[in-house]
Amino acid sequence: MERNDSLSPAQLAAYLDRIGLAAAPAADAEGLARVHRAHRRAIPFENLDIPLGRGVSLDPDRLFAKLVLARRGGYCFEQNGLFLRALRALGFTARPLLGRVWMGGGGEVPPRTHTLNLVSLADGAWIADAGFGGSDAPPMRLAEQEVATPDGVRHRLARDAEHGWMLTRDREPQYSFTEDRVWPSDLAMSNHWTSTVPGGRFVTMRIASILAPDGLVALTGTRLSTPQRVVEIADPAEYRQTLAARFGIALGEAEVEALGLFDEPRR
């Protein structure tokens, strides 16, 4: 395994506190579901360091400092990097995979811009993804036609002749992936492309989302979507308050100004 391949005991205790678990779950399917659910509901998906010009570091200690100690969020390479180290510290055998996001695509084969984790349990291989923004993608047994229906949403895994496996959500393709071994250099290259490509989603947009008890809460630009309503954020002060109240993200006035969301009149 690579350097810093799992959280230290002190880091694991801080991680469990961050996600609201009083004790470490067992290294089985039930424990995997528990830690995954807690992670997804505590650590927001967000990309704000990219438009702030800070980039995205995959250094294990920097990821821990950001997502756990500073109580920030991150996107898939950050979320699943931390999640992988936590799983290993909990006694799971796990490794990263790379995938292609088809959701919202235009028909072209997308690049490998998503990472998830492959977990080996007594009953076989499972996938566990704590970093797919938006809808919950629960841990699933890696098996043909495996189906999971959290919150009434149907996720299905199926073999794909060209791309290994395809995960669909209510019959809409979400992402494909293979079981090929992924090295740190592969993750570094994919993360760099995803966080820097001109015109890319994470370069041009300002995004935050989290799974709340009653459903997904998402902030895209200045538009806040909740299960109850969609509202426009009026000014920087309200934006800061929304980040803090809804996502637990604390940004200063200068940082919110640097996001450039209120530089021009909105249509």
- Whether residue 178 contacts residue 112, with contact meaning beta carbons closer than 8 Å, is answered with no
Q: Is 49 annotated as catalytic?
A: no
Q: Is 214 annotated as catalytic?
A: no
Q: Is 61 annotated as catalytic?
A: no
Q: Of the residues 36, 39, 49, 129, which is catalytic? A: 129
Q: Of the residues 36, 39, 49, 114, which is catalytic? A: 114
- Whether residue 123 contacts residue 109, with contact meaning beta carbons closer than 8 Å, is answered with no
Q: Of the residues 39, 49, 76, 136, which is catalytic? A: 76
Distance CA 91, CA 28 (A): 9
Distance CA 145, CA 103 (A): 19
Distance CA 60, CA 141 (A): 27
87 residue type, one letter: L
Distance CA 210, CA 46 (A): 9
Question: Roughly what angle, to the nearest 10 degrees, separates helices 76-89 and 29-42?
Answer: 140
- Show the tokens assigned to 98: 């790379």
DSSP string, 139-175: -EE--TT-EE-GGG--EEEEEETTTEEEEEETTEEEE
**Active-site positions?**
76, 114, 129
